[in-house]
Amino acid sequence: MRQAGRYLPSYRKLRAQKGMLEIAKDPDLASDVTVDPVKQLGVDAAVVFADIMLPLEGVGVRFRIEENIGPVIERPIGMKGDVEALADFDPEAHAGYVLRTIALAVEKLAGTPLVGFSGAPFTLASYLVEGAPSREFLKTKKMMYSDPEAWDSLMSKLTRLVTAYLGAQARSGVDAVQVFDSWVGCLSPEDYRRYVKPYTSAVFSRLAGSVPTIHFCANSSALVEEFAATGAEVISVDWRVPIDTVWDRAGSDKGVQGNLDPALAAAGGKAMDDAVKGIMKKAAGRRGHIFNLGHGVLPDTPPENLRSVVQTVQGWKGGE
C-alpha cells in the first residue's frame, strides 16, 4: 500500500527535484521508484509507481495534484453532457508510459512479482464529480440519486476505462492487479448494490483468467459481503475490521489482504510488534493471507519500522 513514497529518503530526494506526475510519466524514473522499496525493505512484491488519476488525462480530464489535498479537477462533471464529452480510453495511447514503466520494472525486479492497479469506477467517479477529495460525497450521491441516467453513463465509461487499463497492465507483465475503491465506504450496502456493484463486478468479470485480482476499500466493514460477491479473488481491508472475521463473512475461498493500522507502523516499538503478531495469529491456517497495511504508508514512518514488520512476517513460524 503506497510502498514508494515520502517515508523513503531516496524518494524525498527525487521529489525535491521533480513533481510526482513528472516522475510517474518518466518510465526510467518510475520503474526505479517502483523497485526501490523491494531493495530497501525486502518486501515480497513491488507495486507500480503511478497515480489512479493518470488514465483520466487520456479521456480529457484536466487536473493537478495539490500537496496535502490530492487531485483537484479543473472542470468537475455535473451532468450527462459532461459525461458525454469524455473521450474513449486507449491504454497504449493515453497511458503508454505506465505500460513502459511496467516493462522496465519487470526487467529490474528479475523475478520479484509486480502488482499493477487502478482506481475503481466509483472512486474515479467521485473525484470527477466532487472535483477534489471529499468527506460527505454530497455531489456524487446527488448524481446517483437524482440523475441515474447520467450516473450509469459515467460509471459505464469508467468501467470500460478501468478494464482496458488493467488488461493492458496484465499484458505488459504485472503479476496481479488491485482495484482501489478508496471512497466507496461512504455508501450503505443497499446503495452499493444498486449504484456500484454491477460496474465493479463487470471489471472483475472481464479480467477473469488474466491475472489474480485484488479489491481494496477503506471503511469497508459494512461491505465485506458485497466485495466478496464482485468476483475479486482477494479482498483487501483496512484496520477497522478484524482480519479473521473477513474470511468468516467473505468465504474461506477468498484471499484476504491486510490489515495493520498505518499509524502503528509509524509508531513502531512494542505496540507495532504486538499488532503484527496479532494479525498473523488471526490469519493462521487461513487461505490466501497477504500481510499488508490497512492503507498507505504514512510519510512520517521510519523505514526501519517497515523493515522490522517485513522481517517478522517473513520469519513467522506460527503461534509466536
19-50 pLDDT, tens digit per residue, is 999 999 999 999 999 999 999 999 999 999 99
Which positions ≥6 away from 44 have C-beta within 8 Å? 112, 113, 314
Right CATH for 9-232 from 3.20.20.70, 3.40.50.620, 3.20.20.210, 2.40.30.10: 3.20.20.210
pLDDT of the residue at 2: 65
pLDDT of the residue at 1: 54
Residues 8, 304 contacting (CB under 8 angstroms): no
Average pLDDT, the chain: 94
Calpha distance 230→90 (Å, rounded)? 25
pLDDT of the residue at 273: 98
Mean pLDDT, residues 198-210 taken together: 97
Taking Cα atoms as reference points, which of 159, 140, 135 lies closest to residue 151? 140
pLDDT of the residue at 218: 85
- The conformation of residue 88, written as its DSSP 8-state character, comes to P
pLDDT of the residue at 220: 82
Residues 205, 213 contacting (CB under 8 angstroms): no
Inter-CA distances, 211 with 117, 143, 167, 233, 260, Å: 12, 33, 9, 10, 25
Which cell is 234 given? 482477494
Cα 74–Cα 179–Cα 1 angle in degrees, nearest 5? 90
Calpha distance 223→129 (Å, rounded)? 23
Q: Give the gyration radius of the chain's Cα atoms.
A: 19
Reported confidence tier of residue 65, pLDDT bands at 50, 70, 90: confident
pLDDT digits (tens, 9 = 90+) for 214-236: 999 888 889 999 999 999 999 99
Reported confidence tier of residue 238, pLDDT bands at 50, 70, 90: very high
Q: What is the pTM of this model?
A: 0.95
pLDDT digits (tens, 9 = 90+) for 71-128: 999 999 999 999 999 999 999 999 999 999 999 999 999 999 999 999 999 999 999 9
Longest dimension (CA), the chain: 59
Calculate the dihedral angle through the C-alpha atoms of 104, 236, 231, 244, rounding to the nearest 10 degrees: 140
pLDDT of the residue at 5: 85
Mean pLDDT, residues 183-202 taken together: 96
In the chain, pLDDT over 90 holds for what percent of residues? 89
Which cell is 10 given? 531516496
Which cell is 189 given? 450496502
In the chain, pLDDT over 70 holds for what percent of residues? 99
Calpha distance 279→42 (Å, rounded)? 19
How many residues comprise the chain?
A: 320
Mean pLDDT, residues 282-302 taken together: 92
pLDDT at 319 > cutoff 90: no
- Tell me the domain boundaries of the chain: 9-232
3-state helix, strand, coil in the chain (%, to 5): 55, 15, 35
pLDDT at 6 > cutoff 90: no
